[in-house]
Amino acid sequence: MNTQSATWLKKKKQKNKIKACLILLISIMGVALGFYWQSLLLLLLFYITHELLWSDHIFYNPKSDYLYSFTNAICTKAGLDNGKLCLFQSDDLVKCDTAVLAISIKSNAFLGYVFDPYVEISDGKYIARQYFERGLKGIRYINISDYLEKLVDGKAVSIKFKHCQSLLPSDILVYGFCNDDFLNKKILVVAPHADDAELAAFGLYSQATDVAVVTLTAGEVEAESFSHVYADSKKASLLKGRLRAFDSIVVPQWGGVKPENIIHLGYFCLRLKEMFDDLSKTTISLTAGVNSTKVFREFNSFKLPSDKDNFASGKNLISDLKFLIEKYQPEVIIMPHSQLDPHEDHIYTSRFVELAIKESSFKGIQHILGYANHFHYTDMHPFGPPHSIASLPPNVDMMQSLDAVFSLSLSEEEQKNKVYALEMMHDLKRPIKLKKVIRSLVQKIIGRSYSRYGYDAYFSKNIKNNELFYFEKVK
């Protein structure tokens, strides 16, 4: 996040503090003058208003354009006439499987700040919605991939705006992407932690014909929810790491991955950067107090090169990844996007994979698809409830160049299978803080509580009609 967004966020926090101090001062004065229940009611109303309007985890100015450029896109014009979308040059998009519509959108004056704005896309039979942040104004990308075939055939597709409106009713741009048939290629999904593969790509790997899944770290940190089992924090951390290692082995089988194609490397959470900076250094778990990966590898079905010493070092991690690339010989590697996903472990997962590719004797990798389970500018994207459309995430400070985009449609059954893939992940079943429960109840007032499958936000953000991947160049 650069200075522009940081300055905007700072001003937003200052305004919220001023509002809170003003209301608190008025309430104290009310109590001093004997207006007890009125002061309590004022505080309650302020809290509800804050939770509804001012507490969104939006760390950028929503009145900003999303900044993307596409190096391998087919760009054509489209029109929006009385809510009907039509392509001006549809022949160029015949072979495309993914398409996004670049259009400038503005929230309605009042309702667009209270209720979540969205567009409803329909071909007369299939209706889907894509949601945006409240108070938006600027260029957004509407994912029309599921309607592209009908648009190319000249059939009617409608777009209706709810709590928002288009600012450019004339010519708009469509970016189309013609991708390979990834589902019938050999795929290696790389996950920094247990659940990352499922959050990003369960739908993809459950449809693929030949796929392997590798998880790098045990995810043993933040084990407070296991303190009722072990008062000793190190034992609680070990338990959590072992459980998550087990999750990473068995849950992909729910998606049809063969057991022999699933492996857990057992390195330590939040240690990948240290390992990368000094490849020969042996690291120690931040919370479990161990320096050996052996404790988290008990569920593996075959040996890894570093099983000889089990040292948690960058050198060993590269050796393991190189071994797996040569073992599975993937044509496609799916891993965290090196720029869109800001989580430290995700960034360094990508860097380790790049080093392993460079050292590997296997040179048949054709594509690297990046995913993002975390975002620089918000932890709410993809916006909206489960079973809506996922599209490009907020990127507002600097132009992000993408080679191409791949949107994979998921059936209702595949989405619900994904729900239970996430449900089986122990880290997504942590006790929810009381504040979040109250906030969810408050937001039900205006229908913005999306806890249909669980209180954890991932049950809303990642149960979508599609999964989205971004191309990275094979280095």
Residue 409 phi/psi, 5-degree rounding, is -75, 140
Per DSSP (E only), the strands in 254-389 are: 262-267, 332-336, 367-371
* In a domain? residue 63: no
Is the CB of residue 419 less than 8 Å from the CB of residue 400? no
Same-domain pairing of 235 and 146: no
Q: How far apart are CA 65 and CA 63, in angstroms?
A: 7
Query: What is the structure's pLDDT at 82?
Result: 87
Separation of CA 22 from chain center: 37
Q: Which of 177, 210, 225 is the last residue of a domain?
A: 177
Average pLDDT over residues 259-281: 97
Q: Is residue 61 part of a domain?
A: no
Do 141 and 9 lie in a common domain? no
Dihedral pair phi/psi, residue 238, rounded to 5°? -60, -40
Using the predicted structure, report yes or no on whether residue 432 has a pLDDT greater than 90: no
Give me Rg for the CA atoms of the chain. 24
pLDDT of residue 309: 94
Are 26 and 151 within one domain? Answer: no
Residue 9 included in any domain? yes
The CA-based angle 38-39-43, given to 5 degrees, is 115
Alpha-carbon gap, residue 367 to 208, rounded angstroms: 15
Closest CA to 287 of 336, 346, 227, 348: 227
Would residue 415 count as lying in a domain? yes
Report yes or no: 136 and 150 within 8 Å, Cβ to Cβ.
no
Task: Tell me the C-alpha distance between 366 and 188, whole Å.
Answer: 12
Residue 190: enclosing H or E segment and its boundaries? strand 186-191
449 vs 132: which has the higher pLDDT? 132
Q: Are 184 and 447 in contact (CB under 8 A)?
A: no
Verify that 21 and 95 share a domain, yes or no: no
CB 340 within 8 A of CB 370: yes
d(CA 239, CA 228): 12
Looking up tokens 């803080």, which residue turns up? 433
Task: Give the CATH number of the domain where residue 156 resides.
Answer: 2.60.120
Could you tell me if residue 310 is left (phi over 0), alpha (psi between -120 and 50 degrees) or otherwise beta?
left
Share of the chain above pLDDT 90, in %: 81
pLDDT for 244: 98
User: With helix as H, strand as E and coil as C, how does 417-434 read?
Assistant: HHHHHHHCCHHHHCCCCH
pLDDT tens digits, 9-64: 888 889 888 988 999 999 999 999 999 999 999 998 998 888 878 888 899 999 99
Q: The domain containing residue 28 runs over which residues?
A: 3-54
What token pair was written down for 321?
């990844």
222 and 105 assigned to the same domain: no
pLDDT of 170 above 70: no
Minimum mean pLDDT range among 371-375, 392-396, 470-474: 470-474
Answer whether residue 102 is part of any domain: yes
Query: Do 321 and 455 fall into the same domain?
Result: yes
At 99-146, the pLDDT tens digits run: 999 999 999 998 999 999 999 999 989 999 999 999 999 999 999 999
Mean pLDDT of the chain: 93
* pLDDT, tens only, 215-250: 999 999 999 999 999 999 999 999 999 999 999 999
- The answer to whether residue 59 is domain-embedded is no
Indicate if the pLDDT at residue 169 is higher than 70.
no
**H helix runs in 208-291, sequence order:** 233-254, 272-277
321, 352 Cβ separation under 8 angstroms: yes
Residues 314 and 393 in one domain: yes
CA quadruple 320, 322, 327, 330: dihedral positive or negative?
Answer: positive
Indicate whether 307 and 244 sit together in one domain. yes
**For residue 60, is it within any domain?**
no
Same domain flag for 100 and 32: no
**89, 173 in Cβ contact below 8 A?**
no
Let me know if residue 33 belongs to a domain.
Answer: yes
Give the chain's domain count. 3
Query: Residue 77 pLDDT more than 80?
Result: yes
* 8 Å CB contact between 421 and 198: yes
Rounded alpha-carbon distances, angstroms, from residue 82 to 85, 97, 156, 169, 404: 9, 26, 12, 9, 31
Do residue 284 and residue 421 come from a single domain?
A: yes
Structure-token pair, residue 288 = 């479990």
Residue 439 in tokens? 């906030």
Per-residue pLDDT, 92: 86
Strand order in the sheet with 367-371: 262-267, 210-217, 186-191, 332-336, 367-371, 466-472, 405-409
User: What pLDDT is recorded for position 65?
Assistant: 96
- For 326-383, the pLDDT digits (tens) are 999 999 999 999 999 999 999 999 999 999 999 999 999 999 999 999 999 999 999 9
Are residues 309 and 440 located together in one domain of the fold?
yes
Same domain, 139 and 233: no
CA 242 to chain centre: 24
Query: Which residue, 177, 204, 232, sits at the end of a domain?
Result: 177
Tokens read off for 131: 């949601």
Task: Considering only residues 58 and 2, tell me which one the structure prediction assigns the higher pLDDT.
Answer: 58
Report the alpha-carbon distance of residue 443 to residue 49 in Å, rounded. Answer: 10
Asked if the model's pLDDT at residue 450 lies above 80, the reply is no
